Amino acid sequence: MCQLNNYNDFEMQERNTTLGEFIIENQKAFQYSTGELSRIINSIRLAAKVVNYKVNKAGLVDIVGAAGEQNIQGEDQQKLDVFANETFIQTLINREIVCGIASEENDDYITVAGADNSHNNKYVVLMDPLDGSSNIDVNVSVGTIFSVFRRITPMGTPVQMEDFLQPGVNQVAAGYVIYGTSTMLVYTTGHGVNGFTLNPAIGTFYLSHPNMQYKEDGTIYSINEGNYVHFPQGVKDYLKYCQKEEGDRPYTSRYIGSLVSDFHRNMIKGGIYIYPTSSKAPKGKLRLLYECNPMAFLAEQAGGKASDGFKRIMEIQPTELHQRVSFFCGSKNMVTKAEEFMENAEK
C-alpha cells in the first residue's frame, strides 16, 4: 500500500508544470526577453538545489557553526553563509549570463566578464545567499533572496556602481528560496507571483502555488517585540492597536526571525512583517538592495504593500551597496494602518 501511495504521488507530480516548463511558457511575457533572464532563473534553481542538499545535511556534516569571519556588516559569518555565497556566485559566473553580482556577504560588487573578456551581458544580480543562517544550528527554516536588474551603463563596458544602485521599481525579477519542511522557489518577473516546490526524489521543482496573493487584511503581526522599548512611538502605538481586543483583534503574534520564513507565512495566511528603525539601529537593520527591494517587489505583485513606514520601498533611491532601511511589508490594509500610526506619531 505504501509503495502504491508513493507511486500515485509521483504520478500527481508528473501532471504538474515544472519550473523549467513554466519559464519557457512565460518568457514571451517579458519585454526584454532574449533568453538571459530565463537562464538566470534556471541558474538560481540549480544553485538552490545544491544549497538545499547542504542545508538538509547540516546536522550530519561539518557545515554548521561560525566560519570564524565577519561580513561587511560586522556580523559573524556562518559556514553555510560562505558555502551558499560561493555556490550562487560560481553558478552565475560559470553560466556567463550576468555582467555583475552583489552579495550581502561581499564588501563590493563583482564584475563578471565573458570567456572572451567581453561585457555584453545585460543583467546584474543582487542577493542574500542565506537569510536567517544563524537559525541553522537550531533547525529553523532559512532562505535565499535574489533581485535582478537590467544594467544601465553601456553594453560592452564593465559594470559600475550605478548598475546596482537602482530603485526597486527597476527590478525585472525577484524571488526567494525557502529551505524548510519542503523547499520552495518563489519568484516574479512582474506578472504575478508563483511558487514551485522541490520534489527531492527526482530533483525537480513543480508549480505548487500558482498566482500567490496576500489577503487585503490579515491577523498576524511579525516583529521582534523584545526590542519594544527601542522602537519609534508610531510602532509602539501600532503594536498596542494589534493587541487591543476589538473586531478581529487581538492579532496573533508570529515571529521566526528569518525574513524569508516570516514573509512566506504572511503571504499565504495574511499578515504584516515589521523591522523598524530603533534606538539600537537608527537606520534600520534590513538591507534595501538584498532583502527589502526583492521582498517589496514580490509583495506588490501578490497584492500586498511594502513601505519604510512612510513611503514606498521600491521608490527609495539607494546611495550605498549595503544600505539599511526600516521595513513594513505584508497585507495592504495592515501596512496602510501601520503607516497611519507612524505619521500620527510624527505630528
Q: What is the DSSP secondary-structure string of 284-336?
A: -SEEIIIIIHHHHHHHHHTT-EEESSSSBGGG----STT-EE-EEEESHHHHH
Query: Does 170 share its domain with 297?
Result: no
Using the predicted structure, report yes or no on whether residue 72 has a pLDDT greater than 80.
no
Query: Does 186 share its domain with 250?
Result: no
Domain end position, chosen among 151, 185, 209: 209
Q: Residue 255 annotated as binding?
A: yes
Q: Residue 308 annotated as binding?
A: no
Q: Around Cβ 4, how many Cβ atoms within 10 Å?
A: 8
Instruction: Give the helix, strand, coil percentages of the chain, each rounded to 5.
Output: 40, 25, 35
Q: Residue 104 annotated as binding?
A: yes
CA distance 50 to 44: 10
Predicted confidence (pLDDT) per residue in 175-222, tens digit: 999 998 899 999 999 999 999 999 999 999 999 999 999 999 999 999
Burial of 347 (0-12, 13-18, 19+ CB in 10 A): exposed
The share of the chain scoring above pLDDT 90, in percent, equals 73
Which of 27-41, 110-124, 189-203, 264-278 comes out lowest in average pLDDT? Answer: 27-41
Domain end position, chosen among 209, 235, 251: 209
Element (H, E) at 51: helix 36-56
Query: Does 131 share its domain with 81?
Result: yes
Q: Residue 224 annotated as binding?
A: yes
Q: What pTM value is reported for the model? A: 0.90
Write down the pLDDT at residue 3: 44
Mean pLDDT of 94-106: 94
CA distance 265 to 186: 12
Query: Does 249 share its domain with 191?
Result: no
Q: Kindly give, in sequence order, each residue whose CB lies less than 8 Å from that of residue 83, ignoring residues fewer than 6 positions away.
A: 51, 54, 63
Q: Residue 81 annotated as binding?
A: no
Query: Does 31 share its domain with 168?
Result: yes
The whole-angstrom distance between residue 181's C-alpha and the CA centroid of its chain comes to: 18
The share of the chain scoring above pLDDT 70, in percent, equals 88
Domain end position, chosen among 209, 236, 268: 209
Pairing verdict, β 171-179 and 204-209: unpaired
Q: Which pLDDT band, with edges at 50, 70 and 90, does 79 fall under? A: confident
- Say how many domains are in the chain: 2
Long-range contacts of 164-167 (CB under 8 A, 24+ apart): 164/100, 164/102, 164/109, 164/124, 164/126, 164/289, 164/318, 164/321, 165/289, 165/317, 165/318, 165/319, 165/320, 165/321, 166/318, 167/293, 167/314, 167/315, 167/316, 167/317, 167/318
Q: Residue 131 annotated as binding?
A: yes
Write down the pLDDT at residue 80: 85
**Cβ-contact 299, 332 below 8 angstroms:** no
Q: Residue 285 annotated as binding?
A: yes
Q: Around Cβ 201, how many Cβ atoms within 10 Å?
A: 10
Query: Does 303 share its domain with 190?
Result: no
DSSP codes of every residue in 81-135 = HHHHHHHHHHHHHHHT--SEEEETTSSS-EE---TTS-----EEEEEEEEETGGG
Query: Does 48 share its domain with 163?
Result: yes
Write down the pLDDT at residue 1: 38
Predicted confidence (pLDDT) per residue in 275-328, tens digit: 999 999 999 999 999 999 999 999 999 999 999 999 999 999 999 999 999 999
Domain annotation covers residue 198? yes
Q: Which one-letter amino acid corresponds to residue 94?
A: N
**Cβ-contact 233, 342 below 8 angstroms:** no
Q: Residue 271 annotated as binding?
A: no
Using the predicted structure, report yes or no on whether residue 35 has a pLDDT greater than 90.
no
Query: Does 19 share its domain with 69?
Result: yes
Query: Does 17 share its domain with 95?
Result: yes
Write down the pLDDT at residue 81: 86
Q: Residue 9 annotated as binding?
A: no
What range defines the domain where residue 104 resides? 2-209
Pairing verdict, β 204-209 and 194-199: antiparallel
